[in-house]
């Protein structure tokens, strides 16, 4: 098993994984900084209109998941995040260092960054700092990490359905080249 892993971790693969790590750190820092700004500028303040009747910044301490579901389930959310992150790491390690899979690396890194960003909040505060509110459609208040997860997942689904062939996806599970 070790020799097989060593073969798959060539210089190009290591370079790609390092780029993933740098992107992950940058995205998590952006999320953290926006939440920090939300706490110091928006907490205990009236909503801040960006585009009247369309978009505003509105501070919220979310103790649940999307749309406020599953309130106060910190251990459950952290457990799920660890499982998702483990799967993402597994897939990134098994993904060939072929150019065709760069999109997959970017999307999985975005999803991981969102999961980590919100997990940091849950571990530190027992809630997630949300602050972006689309007034026009009365969409639940969210944050930058949520954008990473939502956009990353949506584009990933599109790629799986329309871009990657079944054989290319199977090789991620079997660890073989097509």
Catalytic residues: 130, 146
**Could you write out the DSSP letters of every residue in the chain?**
-HHHHHHHS-HHHHHHHHHHHHHHHHHHHHHHHHHHHHHHHHTTS--EEEETTTEEEEEEEE-SSGGG-STT-HHHHHHHHHHHHHHHHHHHHHS-S-GGGHHHHHHHHHHHHHHHHHHHHHHHHSSEEEEEEEGGGTPPPB-HHHHHHHHHHHHHHHHHHHTS-HHHHHHHHH----
């Amino acid at each position: 098993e070790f020799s097989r892993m060593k073969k798959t971790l060539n210089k190009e693969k290591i370079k790609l994984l390092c780029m993933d790590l740098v992107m992950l750190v940058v995205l998590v820092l952006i999320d953290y900084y926006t939440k920090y700004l939300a706490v110091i500028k928006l907490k205990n303040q009236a909503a801040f209109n960006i585009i009247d009747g369309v978009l505003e910044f509105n501070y919220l301490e979310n103790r649940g998941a999307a749309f406020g579901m599953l309130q106060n389930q910190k251990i459950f959310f952290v457990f799920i995040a660890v499982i998702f992150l483990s799967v993402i790491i597994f897939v990134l390690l098994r993904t060939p260092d072929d150019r065709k899979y760069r999109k997959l690396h970017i999307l999985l890194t975005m999803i991981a960054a969102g999961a980590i960003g919100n997990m940091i909040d849950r571990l530190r505060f027992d809630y997630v700092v949300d602050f972006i509110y689309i007034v026009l459609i009365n969409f639940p208040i969210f944050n930058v990490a949520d954008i990473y997860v939502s956009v990353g997942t949506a584009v990933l689904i599109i790629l799986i359905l329309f871009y990657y062939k079944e054989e290319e996806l199977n090789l991620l599970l079997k660890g073989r080249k097509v």
